Amino acid sequence: MCGIMGYVGKKQAGPVILDGLSRLEYRGYDSAGIAVRDDSGDVRIVKAAGKLKNLAEMTQNGSSLEGTCGLGHTRWATHGEPTQTNAHPHISLNEEEHSGAAVVPQVTGVHNGIIENYQELRIKLLRHGYRFYSDTDTEVLVKLVDYYYKKYKVGPIDALAKTMVRVQGSYALAVMFADYPGEIYTARKDSPMIIGVTEDETFVASDIPAILKYTQSIYYAENLEMARLIPGQAIFYDLNGDIVPKTPQIAEYSADSAEKGGYEFFMLKEIYEQPKAVRDTISAFTPDGEVDFSAEGLLPDDAKNVERLYIFACGSAYHAAVLSQYVFEELAGIPVRVEMASEFRYRAVPLEKNSLAIVISQSGETADSLAALRKAKEQVLKTLSIVNVSGSSIARESDYTLRTPAGPEIAVATTKAFSAQVIVLYLLALWIGSGKGRMDRERCREYLEEIRQIPEKIEEILSDKTKIQWLASKFSNAKEAFLIGRGIDYAVSMEGSLKVKEVSYIHSEAYAAGELKHGTISLLEKGTLVIGILTQKDLYEKTLSNLIECKARGAYIAALTGRGNSGIEETADFTMYVPETAQPFMGSLALIPLQLLGFYISIAKGLDPDKPRNLAKSVTVE
């Protein structure tokens, strides 16, 4: 959650920080703030409730703040309401600064994460004369740094180290000290932090897109690691204060990949980037025309030893896992258990040996998924991550990593990263199925050829969106919608329902079609939108019967099916068709119209689909 941007160099910091924050707003847009230190040592702080544009207007896009060193923050509220007072940056002084006025706090800081013992620490600091102006855990954290800095008369790194030992929770913390002008200090535990450098500039940010415009030379801060940032240099330290040698990496993305590229919204751009994302993913793992993960350290013999799978994920990644469960069971012939990471991490689940634990996360920083990964490793399971960011925490802590080359995904509602994740799971199913002798080489090639045709078929779906726009317009004022299906179609309905609800705010629910008569059908009334997904031939008639039951109770029936099922129009009030492919892979095509439906309902309602209320892109806290 939350976005951090810091800069130290030769340019005016304000415009650079505001520009970086604009590329991080998907991480939170409840409020925003900026602190810039001028040549006289004063720190000017400006904060605004609401979206980043409010802060940009107050600071003339950062140009009204003089100084070459500063910090910025865009907030997703956890502790304290999304008000101007609770917005970051926070300071070690006992009274809140006046917006735009010059102040000289010893410590000024921004933070992404949650401090679990902040109440205890707050009481401690109150006893030592500190007073609090906000309701945030971040103000407590900043003042704790100040307390240790002054009490022990140590330098910034030692003060941060003492703070880190005392604090419980997760954090990416960036601070400026009054005694150290032109420098930024950072500390990290379980929350993402990247640092970029050029010859005479240094940047700190929560995610790569914030700094791609300025540099592709980046460091990934490790867990329990601190850093001193000066122009053109980043020096890293461990908790003992010893220097940790590091070599920068080259970012995988270009600056253009994080721009809208002529589209009004990132979500629409990313929907239309799916054919490329899928093609690139297929190419990455079929270098010689066959599925090959040897570059990632997975050899054919490894597939033979996999007796079962555990898959851990949250949100859309969880839906990708549910979809893949059906594919693995059919193509690989092994048992699969899909777990919500946020639930699994708190259960006493004994995991079977000779199993492979798969963790799926777009950002590679999802807190619950990272915890599930660590729990699997505690039980000595081999772990494999599917992530979109190779230097992420989940990628670094996994035994094997399969990176989806989908490029940066900026819209909060995932589209292209989800599609790329599903493709990797298909390829894994073929790899395991072939390795265990479940299918012969020829059959594997036939399935792979079907997968290779998916990008072209997605393009075909995207070429005609008129009908979906009509349906979106008709139901833009709907209060609720239900999506139903069986098997893979049920998994599709789960993700399709999420796409509708998160960007259009319609109460949308997904149900296994066979469960309707166990209570849910009582919610139907005249005009209720029911979307039936019917792409699985062996389940078609059963789901069709469920739709007929819904129609008999006055529901408006929209059907989503393969092109060979034109007879559905006798039952459905509205029909969406997708091209046919092998049955296990129909989910990749069926999901595209539902992504478009969610997007166009959002537009019809005058909403911003890139920034749905109360949501942030990367859930890096519990």
Annotation says 444 is catalytic: no
Contacting residues for 327 by C-beta, under 8 A, at least 6 apart: 425, 426, 429, 488, 584, 585
Annotation says 617 is catalytic: yes
From CA 23, how far away is CA 600, in angstroms rounded? Answer: 23
Is the four-CA dihedral 389, 392, 394, 398 of positive or negative sign? positive
From CA 146, how far away is CA 18, in angstroms rounded? Answer: 26
Asked whether the beta carbons of 557 and 572 are under 8 A apart, the reply is yes
CA dihedral angle for residue 399, residue 405, residue 410, residue 413, rounded to 10 degrees: -80
Active-site residue, selected from the candidate residues 2, 69, 444, 550? 2
Asked whether the beta carbons of 504 and 601 are under 8 A apart, the reply is yes
Active-site residue, selected from the candidate residues 269, 416, 611, 617? 617
From CA 265, how far away is CA 409, in angstroms rounded? Answer: 12
From CA 490, how far away is CA 509, in angstroms rounded? Answer: 11
Contacting residues for 13 by C-beta, under 8 A, at least 6 apart: 7, 36, 62, 65, 67, 68, 69, 70
Local structure of 226: helix, strand or coil: strand
From CA 615, how far away is CA 33, in angstroms rounded? Answer: 19
From CA 394, how far away is CA 327, in angstroms rounded? Answer: 24
From CA 266, how far away is CA 415, in angstroms rounded? Answer: 10
Contacting residues for 566 by C-beta, under 8 A, at least 6 apart: none
Contacting residues for 574 by C-beta, under 8 A, at least 6 apart: 467, 471, 556, 557, 558, 559
From CA 225, how far away is CA 236, in angstroms rounded? Answer: 7
Q: Which residue has the tokens 């390829």?
A: 427
Local structure of 47: helix, strand or coil: strand
Contacting residues for 616 by C-beta, under 8 A, at least 6 apart: 1, 2, 26, 27, 28, 76, 412
Asked whether the beta carbons of 111 and 99 are under 8 A apart, the reply is no
Torsions phi, psi for 406 (to 5 deg): -85, -10
| Burial class, 199, CB count within 10 angstroms (exposed 0-12 / middle 13-18 / buried 19+) | exposed
Contacting residues for 614 by C-beta, under 8 A, at least 6 apart: none
Strand (E) or helix (H) holding 451: helix 441-452
Q: How far is CA 257 from CA 330, 359, 406, in A?
A: 36, 25, 10
Q: How far is CA 510 from CA 53, 199, 547, 601, in A?
A: 36, 52, 14, 17
Active centre residues (catalytic):
2, 617
